[in-house]
Amino acid sequence: MTKAAEEEKEFQWPPLESNPEIFTEYMHRIGLSPTCAIGEVFGFDEDLLAFLPQPIYGVIVAFERIKNDRDKGSAEDVSKVQFYMDQTGSLDNACGIIACLHASLNAPVDILPDSVLDKFQKENATKSPAERCVSLEQNNGFKNIHKGFAMKGQSQAITSNQDNVKHHFVAFVVMDGKLIELDGTKKGPNVIGYCEDVQRGSIVEIQKRLAAGEISYQLSMMTLNAAAF
């Protein structure tokens, strides 16, 4: 395929806008309980963090990579989380929903019975990260829902040409007292170190990467948290 043809090839999984309202609606649509929502982190100061509903189950970050970090993580650490999946080229820009899957399926949150998310979780409970990747690739119902939400938001939808996609989504969770980054493009879960607070631990890790020049300052951070009623 020529470069021009590759650029015009339509994405199977178009990128999502980093918008907590869109992510919340998407997750509720596929089966996350209404008792949970996706929140937005407006800044790293304690006064701003205090506005987020508690508890916070996971953190989702969208950033632009400056340095290649795909060699991080280890397949040997898959057993340290309840759910981890790979992301291949066929799931071109599914990183936003994969980050949500990594956050929600490693958290004590309720999932509605017989929903898309419930069925996906049960069908993939014993599968490998690679098999889960294929399962999502072939799930046309999931894919169609995703495409609908990729068209929402204030930004112009990007439906082709990977050069126009600058940001990548990852999730951070705490399991057994360890902060773990979950990114399907890496070799496996990236165990960072001791942590009790997923929100503040994620912020410290992001600040380290910013200082090291690994990622751009053009980033956004969201949380999987209890819904504010």
- Could you give the CA distance from residue 60 to residue 167 in angstroms, rounded to a whole number? 12
Check the CA dihedral 54-224-213-15 and report its sign. negative
Q: Name the phi and psi angles at 165, rounded to 5.
A: -100, 115
Residues near 42 by beta carbon (within 8 Å), at least 6 away in sequence: 48, 51
Residue 87 tokens, joined: 């992301």
Catalytic residue, chosen from 95, 100, 133, 195, is 95
Residues 6+ apart with CB under 8 A from 214: 65, 66, 67, 69
Residue with tokens 């890496």: 186
Integer-rounded Cα radius of gyration of the chain: 17
Q: How far apart are CA 229 and CA 227, in angstroms?
A: 6
Q: Residue 95 catalytic?
A: yes
- 167 is a catalytic site residue: no
Catalytic residue among 28, 102, 146, 168: 168
Residue type, 191: V
Enumerate the active-site residues.
95, 168
